[in-house]
Each structure stands twice: as structure tokens, then as C-alpha cells.
Amino acid sequence: MKGGRSKADSRNNDNKLKRKGSGAGTKVSKKAAKDPNKPKRPASAFFVFMEDFRKQYKEAHPNNKSVAAVGKAGGDKWKSLSEAEKAPFVAKAEKRKTEYNKDIAAYNKRLAAGIADDESDKSKSEVNDEDEEDESDGEEEDDDE
């Protein structure tokens, strides 16, 4: 067959179509689920600077709706700052980093100790005790009638 496709080619195309058309949300992630209790990483000096800069920029340009414009202006301003002008932001970032290191050390200790669950054994038993009391209350009412 001149110009014809082999079966292998058509199978490859079918597989490509199946992968493309699988739809959103069907990907199976191989990563472990994120722990919501884990401390967030601290902001870098640039992001500490951007926190203040966003406020200033909003006051100067109240009609601006573009996030990209704020980011671009902030990046340009950051590049133009000298090391001395960046120093307070670097100091704040370092302070946040030391706090983060303390928090992550405590988090890792809790994780190693096995207290990763939100509920402790005590709170679980209290919930079970309340359920048992509710059932016994219902039984007493039935006995009265």
C-alpha cells in the first residue's frame, strides 16, 4: 500500500488522542498529599518588598487592575534599589526565615512523635462518650412511656 499507514501508526495516534481527550481533573498525581499543618516557607526579600510596594502602587494608581503591571513596576524598582536600600527587606526576610526554621523543627518533631493527626485520642474518646450518652438518654425516655 503506497502512502498507507501501518497499524502501529494508527495505534500510536489513538493513544495520543486518548491521552489528550482524557479531560481535566483525571490526572493521577504521584505526589503525596500536602499536609495543611505544615508551615509555609517564608517570603524572600523581594516578596517582603513587594508587600509594601503593592500598597504604595495602589495608592498612586487606583484605577490599575493589572497584576502584571504592578509586578513589572515592582521588579523594576527592586532592580534599581541599592544594597543599602534593600537591607531592611533582607533583614525582615531573615527574621521570617529564622521563625520558619523554628516552626519547621517543631513540626518535624511532632511528625516524628506521631502526633500528625488533627484529632488526639482524647478528643475521639470524648466524642464517643457523648454518642453513648445520647443513646442512653433515648432509652430512658422509652422506658418512661
CA 119 to chain centre: 21
Domain that holds residue 105: 45-55+66-113
- Looking at the whole model, is its pTM more than 0.75? no
Q: Within a domain: residue 81? A: yes
The pLDDT tens digits for 66-124 are 999 999 999 999 999 999 999 999 999 999 999 999 999 999 999 888 864 544 444 45
78 to 42, 50, 100: CA distances (angstroms): 19, 9, 24
Residue 49 lies in a domain: yes
In a domain, 143, yes or no: no
Residue 60 lies in a domain: no
